[in-house]
Amino acid sequence: MMADMDRRDVIDRVAIPRKDDDLLLGRHGLDLLMPMHAMIDPEGRIVHIGPSLSRLAGNRPLVNRKLTDCFSFNRPQTVRGPADLHGIGGHRLDLAFRDGRAVRLRGVAAPLAGAGGLVLNLSLGLRELADLGGAGLTCTDFSATDMTVDMLYLIEGKNAAMTESQRLIMRLNGARQMAEKQAFTDTLTGLGNRRALDRALADLVAAGIPFALCNVDLDYFKQVNDRHGHAAGDEVLKAVAHVLTDVTRDRDLVARTGGDEFVILFRNLVDPAIIDRIARRLIVGVEQPITVGDATCRISASMGTALSTAYDVADPVQMMADADLALYASKRAGRSRHAVFDACLHVPPSE
């Protein structure tokens, strides 16, 4: 009975009278000035907590429990039980909930006159500001003088700035990737261009990966331009690009290197028989009639291939020249066919 009277006396003497107008600072005034406070009786028992501390505690029971049963003290480290609380008045505190998530709090303890006891004025530790201790607190849960509110605004501003910076970086990366893609892409057909071909050749040679380089030149394409105009010729080139990508694999590179000239790089494929079968399918596909408006366009293709394994050291410049020799051998043999470079093909191409 005497202990209960002492706890009530602590509440009455400090700031929480039975009638709010009995003292200048009543319950609501204390809750307003220190919404995250806790009042401790002389026995070390929590007799009252502010509304914000109550929200932060959530399902953790605090009132009528020993302070040291509810919180562990990191500062001062000498606090282990109720008897150790008598000397913490005026000291800075660093403590954390024992139950559930160990939310860190900082604050100061003030001794109470008369019946004794303490008032703890607490606030969230810095590490808890990111999610406000997981309790969904808002700015209204902190006193107007609590620096936590200012920190929250700073964190919010920082997060907003970081979010905008990330968006800007993503836009810049997207623009850079788009620019790089455009720099390596033929704008008419969407195939690779000469720059893409040179890079792919350099990568294959540097990695020591065997490959075949196949030059493709369209037959009778000039007649399409002369008879139906360059717009029709562009549509034919797009149709040819579609055939080339359909016949080749995803790992292969198809590039347009001139008006009606294309190059295919077959990665890890140097079997002449397999390449010849692919070339025949490609020629058959290219020879299908292409309808452009009211016109029907017919073309074919001649092809010449050089194999990287035919050289002691693969030289892209030499391979391009040798593939050209094989290509023109196909044209001299009647067009619409494919040839693989052989050392006997030493005669330079003629127009």
The question of whether 260 is a catalytic residue gets the answer: yes
Query: DSSP letters along 121-141, please?
Result: EEEE-GGGTTTGGGTT--GGG
Give 256's strand partners.
Answer: 262
Sign of CA dihedral 317, 323, 327, 333: positive
Between CA 241 and CA 232 the distance in angstroms is 14
Residue (of 282, 296, 319, 299) closest to 200 by Cα position: 319
Q: What share of the chain is helix, strand, coil (3-state, %, to 5)?
A: 45, 20, 35
DSSP 24: S
- The DSSP letter of residue 339 is E
Cis amide prior to 76 (ω within 30 degrees):
yes
Q: Are 241 and 231 a contacting pair, CB within 8 Å? A: no
Q: What is the spatial distance between Cα 221 and Cα 245, in angstroms, rounded to a whole number?
A: 19
Length of the chain as a residue count:
351
Give me the half-sphere count of Cα atoms (radius 13 Å) on the Cβ side of residue 143.
19
- Beta pairing, strands 118-124 & 37-40: antiparallel
DSSP character at residue 48 = E
What is the DSSP secondary structure assignment for residue 59, as one 8-state letter?
T
Q: Which H or E element spans position 327?
A: helix 316-332
Distance between CA atoms of 313 and 325, rounded to whole angstroms? 19
User: Per the residue annotation, which of 260, 312, 315, 342 is the catalytic one?
Assistant: 260
**Residues with catalytic function:** 260
